[in-house]
Structure 1
Amino acid sequence: MHTRRHLLACLLSGPWAGVATARTVRPAPSADAAFDTLAERCFNARMALDPLTASVTTADPRYEGLLAITIAPEHLARVRRLNEQVARGLRTLPPESLDPARRLSHELLQWDVDMALKGDAFPDHLIPMNHFGGLPLQLATMGSGDQGQPLKTPQDFDHYLARLARLPAYNRQAIANMRQGMRRGVTVPRVLIESGRDTFARLAEPDFDKSPFSAALKAMPTEIGAAQRNRIARAYQRLFERDLRPSLAGLADFTNGAYARACRSSDGLGALPDGAAWYQHLVRWHTTTEMSADEIHALGLAEVQRIHGEMAQVQQRLGVAGSVLDFLRWHEQEPRFHPYTSWDEIARTHADLDARLTPLLPRLFGRQPRQVLEVRAMPELQRASASSYYNPAAPDGSRPGIFFVGSPEPPQRYSSSYLTSLLLHEGRPGHHFQISIQQELKLPSFRRFGWSTAFGEGWALYAETLGHEMGLYEDPNQWLGHLKMELTRAVRLVTDTGLHARGWTHAQTIRYMMDNQGESQAEARLATERYMAWPGQALGYKIGALRIQQLRRQAQAALGERFTLADFHDLVLSQGTVPLQVLQGMVQAWIGQGGGRP
């Protein structure tokens, strides 16, 4: 039986760099072998410290019934000790002592650990949740069975129940952390609490049959026999009545009451103690660059202007009068671009388009992932505060990669112009290709399951542009949809830095988006509050995509007729997630070798 404590004891015991103890005589391992041991122990220890992430990321069944209180002080201390141990182990293994492949892994693990240790200076654990994310919302949506929590067998349901049983302890710790944040002046903006009231109320629904935490029972497979079904149902209802409902009600009362009254009236991270340094750390984390907030802001303004110019060309082609903003508003209101009546219909339309991509992709990729992609409508609870997203496949094939489509607005407001770009971003050849191929690579585990906003979201945004090569943007409606999505990412560079580094207000940010994107006030408000809740995350998309496009142009210019898109794309995806500076070095080395298959 694998308990979390047992796993930690096994994984964290013993020497970190493979050095023998004084009482044991063993041959000294090579530097390469010592690094392999260090990297794998680091990954396994991290997974044991956060078993929810472990099971979602790796589909390892050992973790499926475990849940750590990751915001507890003692847990944070264990994570820091682990990172310090890994840092010491890396110092005993100079990069020059390793072969080239491990040298790169050493650099990536060093960067990751350094960033984690630097991040310890900032108290994000005092802001443990909002209506865009947090453990209560995540566990509620996992009841669908397609969010990384298997729900096919009685044991699966017991595992999910065991995790739900830990949620009250997490909620108590979250309240304690938020109280500490109130004393230290580290709270979320009050507007986020006001906007999240409905989400917290739905999580605290007192009627079990209406609660999102009963969703798992409603989807229970018919193969489970009556006796087990009754046992499971009784156990879930008992836990809900005794523990979950009071805990969630208490959390909602606290966040909507004492916490809301104490929350700050400011909107950006820069208003918090040491907020400027905190934000710059997040900028570096999400972009993997040394760019300043001012540099990113200026880049965003330039990109907005450029994209407006391209939109004007589409406007002229469609014969619509007025300014670009007038054109965008006309397009949003034009009925022919909003033909849908349900999210299931929209999901089927995306799936049909994905089938059309199959014969087109081999021209652009020498390697494609083995994992299949499915398109589904997003669970209703998530649509209140989330937009379409991709959920990675399980490495063992037990769960497909899933593109969930949805938004807070009704399906009748979904624009058909987004079909192509959104599918290319979330599915093939965007997130589904990048993440699935990475899982198949022969790399250390921390790299096979690693993630970087700049690389991952940058690749997905770059993948949207490949609609050109596949002939998918000949329809001006689809081309405009791509430009609108690209404009959103450019506007993020302006608004995220505006909010967190330049003192922009909630209202000011909404107005900028309405004036430059043609967004409705409701759409602009939702996006603004997302950027307030996740400082810096929105920057990675455009920064990453621009770097990949720049490297592609450099390679094409240098290699001429020897350049092929398939080789370039295979190269970019060949080492998994890497910082942008590392990617640049990879491309330059490839150019120096004359291109070809990586």
Structure 2
Amino acid sequence: MSAPRLRSHRFPCAAALPLVAALWLAGCAGPAPQAGSTPAAPTVPAPATPSAAETNARAEAAARQLRSLMDASDEAMLARNPMAGLFRGDLRRAGEFGNPDSPAHVAAEREAAQTELNLLDAVSREALNADDRAAYDSFRWSRQLALEANAMPLAGLWPLMPLDQMQGWHLLMADISSAQGPAPYRSVADYDAGLSRLQGFIVWLDGATDRMQQGMASGVVLPKVVVARLIAQFDQLATQGVNDSPFYGPVRQMPADLPAADRERLTRETTELVEDQLRPALARMSRFLTTRYLPAARDSVGLSALPGGGDYYAWLIRLHTTTGLDAATVHRLGLSEVARIEGGMQAVMREVGFAGSLGEFFEQMRTDPRFAPASAQALADGYAAIGQRVAQAMPRLFGEAPRTPLVIRPTPDYQAVTAAGASYTPGSLDTGQPGIFHFNTHDLPSRRTWGMETLYLHEAVPGHHYQGSLAAENTALPKQQRFDGNTAYAEGWALYAESLGPELGLFTDPYQRFGHYNDEMLRAIRLVVDTGLHAFGWSREQAIDYLLAHSALSRTEATAEVERYIAMPGQALAYKVGALTLQQLRLRAQQALGPRFDLKAFHRQVLDAGALPMLVLTARIDDWIAAQQPR
């Protein structure tokens, strides 16, 4: 239940400031003079309207000032968080792990956020053009949230819970160190950097133990269900043999062109580091979790059970949805969406001639053997075929495609038990790493083929791979908008991408259309269940039962979903809130522009500025709509 990493999910929204200022000025203007009142003072001539050249010069100067600040902020962030560079293809600090979540790191992040907000106040927002105002507003949003996260009381919560079974550093480092993740292993320097990173991670593990002990003393501890999953993961990573361990991946596939002496040295040093230092550190963490932490862990699963947990959850809702919605409003929205989507499911049920109840139809969809994948390879082949169909249709909806390649691979075994049905790992043109669409083969009989089309659209094209790669490849954007983001934008876009299935020639099979409804239902259910768990006292079992009652997920999938929400509070809210925002913006543009509406141009407006908070994106689209109106 560690804090969301603001380098990956970012951005109060300054986009609202002009409206607030306008209302304030209107309220202070005073009443109009009445007839017979004292004559007004002589009129003072209004200042001369600046020329276009003067306006452009002011805009350019303010834009340079803003970009300089954002560039400096980004470079300083990478110095404080060296691992962030790997996910961008920036290898300058590839050998550094850093000290994430430590007291020194929290203090440095807090100081940086406050300093950068002070510097941003000196930038004239009014002088900026529309694109630069969006960057300004996004940057302020990001820095304000970072300041709150790294100051008390929030800084007294999340650093004391530095691990979870979904996005913990032990999983990230296994992926990064496997030679199948974002870090390249092509040169001697790459291998030496990997060894150095692992040494930093080993030091971090002992520091994480210290912080968890502090949490035990203050009552800020993880739920028992999360700890049980962590123990299983650490045990597996600590005991895997050479042929199975991800940490030996670079040795197993060492490039043949490396000099023989280096191959021998790197093989020896990797073996010694993993056997003599890493495995003992992983085993120490497992023993600590088993013997000391698990007895102190809490039986409750929601954040509201922690001291200050309610305020922390409210902050997480703002972070992940980029809105001012509260838990009760989100919960009601979820209930409404669940009811709407159930209507679509019932229409599919009637179309295929099923005569029972919706619950009975769910059971058939879960258990009918015709929907079980024949093999892991059959899943891979099926996703490849879907990808080819989508690629042929994409030019109808989009004017450009990313240059970063995409590959399809099964989810690694060490992640599969707790992982979702599919996921995406970003690639990089700079390092030559492709984007990776992972599909989960754990408990293969429980996987359903009717969900394949919508999963591909979400995780791959035109979902995460398309959006993330286009942003990363757009060098005209500030790096924050190229590489960072916020969950509502990224996951909202991916869920919106699912809704494009019919326009891309998919969902012609009613069962695949059911799969789309089922996945959309999952995102609606998340609004109900995540808030239920963390704001309204729901139990793990209550949440699992709700998923099973309102979707065709198997118990394995429903359990993994609920445990994900327990481990990552608030993150699951972003999908539906972001997607609804995008769908409403598209409808607004269609209604305002009528026959002048161009879907490719709309998608370009959404994607070209990179990841923006929803309120900032809304202002951008409103400005674009106004610019298309006849003058």
Q: TM-score, normalised by structure 2?
A: 0.87
Choose from 450, 458, 466 the match for 1:425: 458
Asked if the contact 1:144–1:379 (Cα under 8 Å) also holds between the matched residues in 2, the reply is: no
**Residue 107 (structure 1) aligns with:** 137
Shift of 1:291: 0.7
Which amino acid counterpart does residue 372 of structure 1 have in structure 2? P
**Residue 64 (structure 2) aligns with:** 33
Q: Distance in 2 between matches of 1:408 and 1:300?
A: 29
Deviation per residue, 1:15-43 (Å, 9 max, x gap): xxxxxxxxxxxxxx943322221110100
Matched, 1:445 2:476: no
Shift of 1:209: 5.0
**Residue 376 (structure 1) aligns with:** 409
Matched, 1:50 2:81: yes
Deviation per residue, 1:164-214 (Å, 9 max, x gap): 111221011100000011111111111211233321211221755553322
Which amino acid counterpart does residue 531 of structure 1 have in structure 2? Y
Which amino acid counterpart does residue 96 of structure 1 have in structure 2? E
RMSD: 1.7
Shift of 1:463: 0.4
When structure 1 is superposed on structure 2, of 94-103 and 165-174 the one drifting more is 94-103
Asked if the contact 1:389–1:404 (Cα under 8 Å) also holds between the matched residues in 2, the reply is: yes
Matched, 1:64 2:94: yes
Choose from 290, 302, 309 the match for 2:343: 309
Shift of 1:221: 2.5
Deviation per residue, 1:521-565 (Å, 9 max, x gap): 332221111000000000000110111111111111111111122
Residues 442-521 of structure 1 aligned to structure 2 (within 5 Å): 442-521=476-555
Which amino acid counterpart does residue 102 of structure 2 have in structure 1? A
Q: Distance in 1 between matches of 2:571 and 2:192?
A: 35
Shift of 1:464: 0.6
Which ranges of structure 1 fall in alignment gaps of 5 or more residues?
1-28
Choose from 586, 590, 593 the match for 2:624: 590
Shift of 1:99: 4.1
Secondary structure of the equivalent of 2:528? helix
Q: Distance in 1 between matches of 2:627 and 2:354?
A: 50
Deviation per residue, 1:376-411 (Å, 9 max, x gap): 22222121211211111214261122211115422x
Matched, 1:350 2:394: no
Q: Distance in 2 between matches of 1:496 and 1:97?
A: 41
**Residue 14 (structure 1) aligns with:** none
Q: Distance in 2 between matches of 1:483 and 1:169?
A: 46
Shift of 1:584: 1.4
Q: Distance in 1 between matches of 2:244 and 2:410?
A: 20
**Residue 259 (structure 1) aligns with:** 293
Choose from 371, 385, 395 the match for 2:418: 385
When structure 1 is superposed on structure 2, of 519-528 and 453-462 the one drifting more is 519-528
Q: Distance in 2 between matches of 1:70 and 1:152?
A: 27
Q: Distance in 2 between matches of 1:232 and 1:88?
A: 47
Residues 543-558 of structure 1 aligned to structure 2 (within 5 Å): 543-558=577-592
Q: Distance in 2 between matches of 1:30 and 1:558?
A: 34
Asked if the contact 2:548–2:558 (Cα under 8 Å) also holds between the matched residues in 1, the reply is: yes
Matched, 1:217 2:251: yes
**Residue 568 (structure 1) aligns with:** 602
Asked if the contact 2:184–2:431 (Cα under 8 Å) also holds between the matched residues in 1, the reply is: no
**Residue 437 (structure 2) aligns with:** 403
When structure 1 is superposed on structure 2, of 212-221 and 580-589 the one drifting more is 212-221
Q: Distance in 2 between matches of 1:426 and 1:32?
A: 34
Which amino acid counterpart does residue 180 of structure 2 have in structure 1? D
**Residue 328 (structure 1) aligns with:** 362
Secondary structure of the equivalent of 1:204? helix
**Residue 15 (structure 2) aligns with:** none
Q: Distance in 2 between matches of 1:176 and 1:116?
A: 24
Which amino acid counterpart does residue 406 of structure 1 have in structure 2? N
Shift of 1:456: 0.5
Asked if the contact 2:89–2:431 (Cα under 8 Å) also holds between the matched residues in 1, the reply is: no
Shift of 1:333: 1.1
Shift of 1:111: 0.7
Asked if the contact 2:484–2:611 (Cα under 8 Å) also holds between the matched residues in 1, the reply is: yes
Shift of 1:94: 3.1
When structure 1 is superposed on structure 2, of 561-570 and 109-118 the one drifting more is 561-570
Q: TM-score, normalised by structure 1?
A: 0.91
Shift of 1:146: 2.8
Q: Distance in 2 between matches of 1:382 and 1:236?
A: 22
**Residue 168 (structure 2) aligns with:** 134
Shift of 1:480: 0.7
When structure 1 is superposed on structure 2, of 207-216 and 308-317 the one drifting more is 207-216
Asked if the contact 2:117–2:140 (Cα under 8 Å) also holds between the matched residues in 1, the reply is: yes
Q: Distance in 1 between matches of 2:623 and 2:65?
A: 27
Asked if the contact 2:137–2:616 (Cα under 8 Å) also holds between the matched residues in 1, the reply is: no
**Residue 170 (structure 1) aligns with:** 204
The alpha-carbon distance between structure 1 residues 209 and 436, as it changes in their structure 2 partners (threshold 3 A), is closer
The alpha-carbon distance between structure 1 residues 595 and 443, as it changes in their structure 2 partners (threshold 3 A), is farther
Asked if the contact 2:303–2:534 (Cα under 8 Å) also holds between the matched residues in 1, the reply is: yes
**Residue 95 (structure 1) aligns with:** 125
Q: Distance in 2 between matches of 1:566 and 1:135?
A: 39
Which amino acid counterpart does residue 416 of structure 1 have in structure 2? T
Q: Distance in 2 between matches of 1:169 and 1:590?
A: 50
**Residue 194 (structure 1) aligns with:** 228
Deviation per residue, 1:258-308 (Å, 9 max, x gap): 000101111100111111110010000000001111111111111111111
Which amino acid counterpart does residue 538 of structure 1 have in structure 2? A
Choose from 566, 581, 595 the match for 1:532: 566
Shift of 1:347: 2.1
When structure 1 is superposed on structure 2, of 534-543 and 94-103 the one drifting more is 94-103
Secondary structure of the equivalent of 2:177? helix
Q: Distance in 1 between matches of 2:278 and 2:436?
A: 29
Q: Distance in 2 between matches of 1:345 and 1:142?
A: 27
Q: Distance in 2 between matches of 1:542 and 1:102?
A: 28
Q: Distance in 2 between matches of 1:424 and 1:187?
A: 37
Deviation per residue, 1:492-511 (Å, 9 max, x gap): 01000000011111111111
Asked if the contact 2:219–2:306 (Cα under 8 Å) also holds between the matched residues in 1, the reply is: yes
Asked if the contact 2:338–2:524 (Cα under 8 Å) also holds between the matched residues in 1, the reply is: yes
Shift of 1:439: 1.6
Asked if the contact 1:385–1:408 (Cα under 8 Å) also holds between the matched residues in 2, the reply is: no
Asked if the contact 1:208–1:240 (Cα under 8 Å) also holds between the matched residues in 2, the reply is: no
Matched, 1:337 2:371: yes
Which ranges of structure 2 fall in alignment gaps of 5 or more residues?
1-59
Q: Distance in 2 between matches of 1:110 and 1:339?
A: 47
Shift of 1:417: 1.0
Which amino acid counterpart does residue 420 of structure 1 have in structure 2? E
Asked if the contact 2:593–2:625 (Cα under 8 Å) also holds between the matched residues in 1, the reply is: yes
Shift of 1:73: 0.8
Asked if the contact 1:199–1:384 (Cα under 8 Å) also holds between the matched residues in 2, the reply is: no
**Residue 22 (structure 1) aligns with:** none
Matched, 1:286 2:320: yes
**Residue 45 (structure 2) aligns with:** none
When structure 1 is superposed on structure 2, of 384-393 and 29-38 the one drifting more is 29-38
Task: Tell me how many residue pairs correspond in the alignment.
Answer: 565
Choose from 68, 85, 93 the match for 2:115: 85
**Residue 18 (structure 1) aligns with:** none
Q: Distance in 2 between matches of 1:470 and 1:154?
A: 45
When structure 1 is superposed on structure 2, of 92-101 and 193-202 the one drifting more is 92-101
